[in-house]
Structures are given as C-alpha cells and as structure tokens.
C-alpha cells in the first residue's frame, strides 16, 4: 500500500469515528429528553418512593447525566448493551437474533436485485433507443417513485388476502423451524420470504438498472471495443467485455445499496410481521425499552458507516485511475 492510501485510510477512519461519536451523542440526548419514564410502565404505583428510586438506581437512571453519558459511550464501544427492560434478556442476544432475521430477508433480495438489475441495465445501455431500453427505464422510474410501504400493502391485499397464494406475514408457519439454518432448508420459510423479497427487489433493482445503463452508454463508445471488433470477436463477447468495464461504479454502489436496504426495511418488517431489527426498534420505542432501541439504532448506523467506508476503499482498489497522492 502506498503512503497516500495509508493517509487516506487514516483520514476516513478518523472521520468515521467522529461521525459515529456524533450519532451516539445525539442518540443519548434524544433518549434522555424523550417524554415518559420507562419505570412508570411496569413499576407498581403503590410501591414506596424508596423502592422506586432503588429500581432506578439498579438501572443506572439515578446517576448524574455525565456519568450516564460516559458509561453509555463505553458500553456502545464494547457492544455491551445491557439488559432489556421488558424482555429481561441480554440485549446483545436479542440483537443477534434480529440481525440474522433481517439478513435472511435482505441478502436474497440484494443478490436478486443486483444480478437482474445488472443484466437488464447492460442490455438496455447496449441497445440504446430500442423498445427494451424505454421499457427498462420507464419501469425503473415508476418503481423507484412508488413508496415501498404502499407496494407492500398492495402486494398483501392482492396475493395474500384476495388470491390467497402466499402467507400474509411472519418467517415460518406455527411449528416451523426456529433456527436460521433450519429455516434456510425449509420450503415454508422460502414461501414466507417470497412476498417481502419481491417488494424489496422491486424497489432496489431500479438503482442497478439505471446505473448500468448509464455506465454502459459511456463504455460503449470506448476505443477498446473497436479493437475487439477488429479482432473478429462476436457481438456477445464484446458485450461481456463492455459490461465488465461498466461494472466499476456498480461495485461501490452495492455497498451503499446494502446499507440502505439494512435501514429501509423497517416499514416492510412491520407490514409483513417479519421479526427483524427494524420491527424490534419500533416495538422498543413504543415500550420505552431504551437499551434495545439504542442498540438497534447504533447497529444500523454502524453498518451504514462501515459499508460507506468499504465503498470508498473498493473504488480505489478496483479502479487503477484513482490515486491518493
């Protein structure tokens, strides 16, 4: 690695740490000033003030604010999220399960969206001005402008409640497998996944289509394609070579797209009753379960920052024209 790259990496890591500190600080004060007291929801009002205060001390809510803030920062850095106020279980265990559930919905949707979007975008860019390109661009703009919650509700109404082809929600039916590996090898899980996955793909496939089309148009006029034609390569091989060069912007976009998927599935998890991190966050906010809500927001922010950092670094590694000096 060159000295320029090392300096760039150091700056990006320091910037990531600073932004993460800002996010954690905003989260702390946001929860600190939220109306309502989590103890009031399950501490009996008939208890004496001394017992109520004792419970607050056990949770650390009676300490000075600056002590709570420093303890909060230390715990977030160490991924020590404490115990859920309501589920009486370690928050780290709850988050581990919910993150896996979210990944089980996001990862297949991401793979399908990237693969199909790449193929459609490459063909649309290569056949500029044709019917296929107009249909691809028009369909992408239409799907991109449709709110995901509206598409999700519409899909539920049509395919679950009217046609009764697919289950309306959840990851598996009652009595189905409860582990991630068990669900992956269960047909019942894939049937439940089909509808939310289709809604996610309909939204996220638009980015790769439009990006590949634009990138393909730029590559299409390159001199190296004329050289390949002069060598007598068939059109199919030339398209493959052009697509490889057009993929450079998509590689970094996928990292940003993954971060958006990880955050943007909150409404869909609620609509499809999918027990992921987004649904858990909404429930925790409703219950004033601060440890769970803070952990969920922290993990979502951390994943977003890390994936954006990965996108910046990947672009420099795969494109030799990028320099850091």
Separation of alpha carbons 41 and 34, rounded Å = 14
CATH of 96-318, one of 2.60.40.10, 3.40.50.1820, 1.10.3720.10, 2.60.40.180: 1.10.3720.10
Tokens describing residue 227 = 């050289």
Tokens, residue 108: 């297949």
In angstroms, the CA 74 to CA 151 distance is 41
Mean of the pLDDT values across residues 17-27? Answer: 91
Tell me what pLDDT residue 10 has.
86
Burial of 201 (0-12, 13-18, 19+ CB in 10 A): buried
Give the separation between CA 57 and CA 178, rounded to whole angstroms.
36
- Would you tell me the crossing angle of helices 248-264 and 290-318 to the nearest 10 degrees? 180
Question: How high is the pLDDT of residue 267?
Answer: 81
SS3 percent helix, strand, coil of the chain, rounded to 5, is 75, 0, 25
Question: Has residue 275 got a pLDDT over 80?
Answer: yes
Q: From CA 90, how far away is CA 103, in angstroms rounded?
A: 20
| Residues ≥6 apart with Cβ < 8 Å to 178 | 172
Alpha carbons 137 and 133: distance in angstroms, whole number: 6
For every residue of 8-52, DSSP letters joined together read HHHHHHHHHHHHHHHHHHHHHHHHHTSSS-GGGGTS-TTS-HHHH
pLDDT tens profile 287-310:
778 888 888 888 888 888 888 888
Average pLDDT, the chain: 80
Which pTM does this prediction carry? 0.79
Residues with Cβ within 8 Å of residue 297, at least 6 apart in sequence:
27, 281
Task: Give the start-to-end residue ranges of the domains of the chain.
Answer: 3-77, 96-318
Per-residue pLDDT tens over the stretch 26-67: 988 887 776 655 666 556 666 667 766 676 666 666 677 788
Share of the chain above pLDDT 90, in %: 3
> 300: which 2 tokens?
């979502």
**CA-based Rg of the chain, rounded to a whole angstrom?**
24
CA atoms of 71 and 139, how far apart (whole Å): 50
Alpha carbon of 90 to those of 14, 119, 235, 300: distances in Å? 30, 44, 58, 18
Report the helix count and the strand count for the chain, using DSSP H and E.
Answer: 15, 0
Question: What tens digit of pLDDT does each residue of 62-121 get?
Answer: 677 788 888 888 888 888 888 887 777 888 888 888 888 888 888 888 899 888 988 888
The 10s digit of each residue's pLDDT in 131-156 is 888 888 888 888 888 888 888 888 88
Task: Measure the CA–CA gap between 85 and 290, rounded to whole angstroms.
Answer: 8
Q: Two tokens at 283?
A: 């429930």
Q: 220 pLDDT exceeds 70?
A: yes
Report the pLDDT value the prediction gives residue 18, as an integer from 0 to 100.
93
Tens-digit pLDDT profile for residues 254-264:
877 787 777 66
| Residue 115, token pair as written in the block | 């693969």
User: Do residues 143 and 205 touch, judged by C-beta distance below 8 A?
Assistant: yes
Question: What is d(CA 181, CA 179) in angstroms, rounded to the nearest whole number?
Answer: 6
């Amino acid at each position: 690695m060159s000295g320029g790259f090392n300096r760039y990496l150091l700056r990006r890591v320091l910037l990531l740490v600073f932004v993460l500190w800002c996010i954690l600080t905003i989260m702390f004060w946001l929860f600190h000033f939220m109306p309502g007291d989590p103890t009031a929801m399950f501490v009996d009002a008939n208890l004496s003030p001394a017992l109520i205060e004792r419970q607050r001390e056990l949770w650390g809510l009676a300490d000075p604010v600056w002590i709570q803030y420093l303890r909060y920062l230390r715990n977030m850095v160490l991924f020590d999220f404490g115990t859920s106020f309501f589920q009486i279980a370690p928050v780290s265990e709850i988050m581990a399960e919910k993150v896996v559930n979210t990944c089980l919905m996001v990862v297949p949707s991401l793979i399908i969206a990237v693969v199909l979007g790449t193929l459609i975008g490459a063909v649309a860019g290569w056949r500029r001005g044709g019917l296929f390109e107009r249909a691809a661009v028009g369909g992408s703009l239409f799907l991109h402008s449709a709110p995901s919650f509206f598409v999700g509700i519409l899909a539920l109404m049509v395919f679950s409640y009217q046609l009764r082809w697919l289950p309306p929600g959840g990851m598996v039916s009652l009595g189905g497998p409860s582990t991630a590996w068990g669900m992956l090898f269960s047909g019942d899980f894939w049937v439940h996944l089909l509808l939310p996955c289709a809604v996610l793909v309909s939204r996220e496939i638009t980015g790769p289509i439009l990006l590949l089309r634009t990138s393909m148009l730029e590559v299409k006029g390159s001199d190296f394609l004329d050289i390949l034609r002069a060598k007598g390569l068939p059109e199919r091989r030339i398209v493959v070579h052009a697509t490889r060069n057009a993929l450079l912007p998509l590689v970094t976009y996928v990292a940003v797209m993954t971060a958006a998927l990880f955050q943007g599935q909150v409404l869909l998890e609620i609509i499809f009753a999918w027990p992921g991190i987004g649904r858990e966050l909404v429930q925790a906010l409703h219950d004033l379960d601060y440890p769970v809500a803070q952990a969920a927001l922290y993990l979502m922010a951390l994943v977003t920052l890390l994936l954006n950092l990965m996108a910046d670094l990947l672009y420099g590694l795969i494109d030799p024209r990028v320099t850091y000096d």
